[in-house]
Chains A and B, each alone.
Chain A
Amino acid sequence: MIQALILIAAALVHSLALAADPAPNRATADNGMALLQRVAQTAMTLSYSGVFVYRSGEREETSRIARLVVDGQELERIEVLDGSAREVIRDGKEVKCFLPGENRVIVERPAGVRGFPALLPVDLAGLEQNYAVRIGRLERVADTNCQALVLEPRDALRYGHQLWIEPNSGLLLKAGLVNKQGQVLESFTFTQFSIGSTFARQQLTPSAESQSGRVQQVQSSEPRPGEMKWVIEKLPAGFRVNKVMMRRAVKPAAASVTPNTQDVVHFVISDGLAAVSVFIEAAAANKPNEAITTAGAMNFYQRQIGDHRAIVMGEVPLVTVKLIGDAIERR
């Protein structure tokens, strides 16, 4: 009798809770995923311009961005306003980094790589296996009320993400990468922005000073059958290899800048949101067998494997780059 009373009371209270709450946990997660989907779509299709502050560790830089999308074709220019005048221009498939302080221009051009440049911003289908998505409160960023969204990592193999989204356009106005101690390792914050393609086209053109550097062009392509001599099978939980490429220098820079003229293997690995790259280059064993370096939110792990050196990098914890690096095997 008493147990029946307890059950009835519990059912009543639960019904009241459901009636009062229009967005229970599952619905909240679904709303979060829908919002994330919108952000991903906007990141690929929206034209906009603005100024944002990039913080990485103790470093802080302000940059101006102009992005134009016409018929699915992206043209985008970032101009760093602090320090040396660096620029990044993304023109469809091609990414150019102008480094006038070093008198060089790095050109990344993929060739014959399936799926490029239609990079999926995030693999939303598998995202919830690695992150719990929570909708936060409304907060003001760049004079705009934004919807906060939190992606909590489900283990210590990845960082957490804080996102602040302009609700009308889906534009991400602020983003932070947070470690398990709650420290913000890296953040992007717009201080002003304008949606649409109303900016002057001149903002998409590199400055004359930037174009004077020597060009160092690398072309990536899919490996030919039998060409791939490396394999990474035992990846950390939630990560998988998205693609493998062979990097080939088309216009190599000075020998001191690019010591290897041989092809470099490039594995692109992801857990749906965080990305890790593995580069394997021919290298004499004249360096320490292992080295771990941190630069802002990026961690680097280098490992000598016979006459090759593997370089693992990504916006993931040290343990993750180490586990991935140690999983590299010669086929």
Chain B
Amino acid sequence: MNNKLSALLDAEHAGNDLDSVCLALSDVQLRSDWADYLLIGDALRAETKLGFDISAEVMAALENEPTVLAPRLLTTPPDAPQTRWFRQMTALAASLAGVLLVAWVTLTFSANETVAPTIQIASAVPIVQPATELTSTTSDKLPDHLQDYIVAHQAHSSAGTLAGGSRNVRAVSATRGVP
């Protein structure tokens, strides 16, 4: 049947079979082929108006297209000379204010006596954390062998050595009992 369609398109079809070809066009696939033949013909003849409607496909594609949020470039009219002078003075004032603020902060907080002995994390460095939140059981009386290991920990490591001998109290603190 496609040969007959092609012949009809080229005006070479025998007239006695025209009814059967037209009846055959009720088939969806055949109609689609017919549309393709027309499109190919238009394209070969360099027709500007293609013979099919693609608006539905285009709209569907636009629906599926992700929205891109990008800042637009703001266009402003060129400054008048007075406006330009005002903007430059404002920038100068803001810069000086910033410099003075930095100087004030430096003068105020760099003196040794004014730093409060508080603890913070000095800088935020990301670390590898376990996937789950760590929870521990708090113990007031550790098992004996853990106490032994605390003694070894204190004896062999530098833990708390800044505190001199007083750090060694850790070794026996965990063993506190009733007098």
Hey, which bits of chain A sit against chain B, CB under 8 A? 2, 5-6, 9-10, 13-14, 16-17, 20-21, 23-25, 28, 31, 36, 39-40, 42-44, 46, 48, 52, 54, 56-57, 59, 61, 63, 65, 67, 74, 76, 78, 80, 82-88, 90, 95, 97, 99, 101-102, 106, 108, 110, 113, 116, 119-123, 131-132, 134-139, 148-150, 152-157, 160-164, 171-172, 175, 178, 180, 182, 188, 190, 216, 218, 220, 236-237, 242-243, 245, 247, 256-260, 266, 268, 270, 273-277, 279, 291-296, 298-300, 311, 313-315, 318-319, 322-323
Interface size on B, residues (CB 8 A): 75
Segment of B32-40, B44-52, B68-76, B113-121 engaged in the interface with chain A:
B113-121
Q: Complex formed: what's the CA distance from A162 to B161 in Å?
A: 14
A-B contacts, 10 of them at CB < 8 A, read A6-B99, A23-B112, A28-B110, A40-B161, A48-B164, A137-B116, A188-B167, A236-B127, A259-B145, A274-B159
Given A10-B99, A28-B112, A121-B161, is A300 in contact with B155 using a C-beta cutoff of 8 Å? no
Given A67-B165, A247-B152, is A162 in contact with B96 using a C-beta cutoff of 8 Å? no
Q: Which residues of B lie under 8 Å from residue A67 when comparing CB positions?
A: 164-165
Q: When the two chains form the complex, which single residue of A44, A260, A277 contacts B152, counting CB atoms closer than 8 Å? A: A277
Q: Which residues of A lie under 8 Å from residue B130 when comparing CB positions?
A: 319, 322-323
Nearest CB in chain A: distance from B58 CB, A: 52
Question: What does the 1/0 interface line of B97-130 toward A look like (CB < 8 Å)?
Answer: 0011011001100111111111111111101111
| Closest A residue by C-beta to B120 | A152
Nearest CB in chain B: distance from A15 CB, A: 10
Those of B136-170 within 8 Å (CB) of chain A: 136-140, 142, 144-170
Q: Which of B107, B110, B178 has most chain A Cβ within 10 Å?
A: B110
> Is A279 within 8 A of B149, CB to CB?
yes
Q: Which residues of A lie under 8 Å from residue B166 when comparing CB positions?
A: 52, 54, 63, 65, 78, 188, 190
Q: Which residues of B lie under 8 Å from residue A319 when comparing CB positions?
A: 127, 129-130, 134
Given A40-B161, A43-B164, is A258 in contact with B148 using a C-beta cutoff of 8 Å? yes
> Is B149 within 8 A of A21, CB to CB?
no
Nearest CB in chain A: distance from B169 CB, A: 5
Nearest CB in chain A: distance from B136 CB, A: 4
Closest 4 CB pairs of A and B: A160-B119, A275-B159, A136-B117, A132-B122
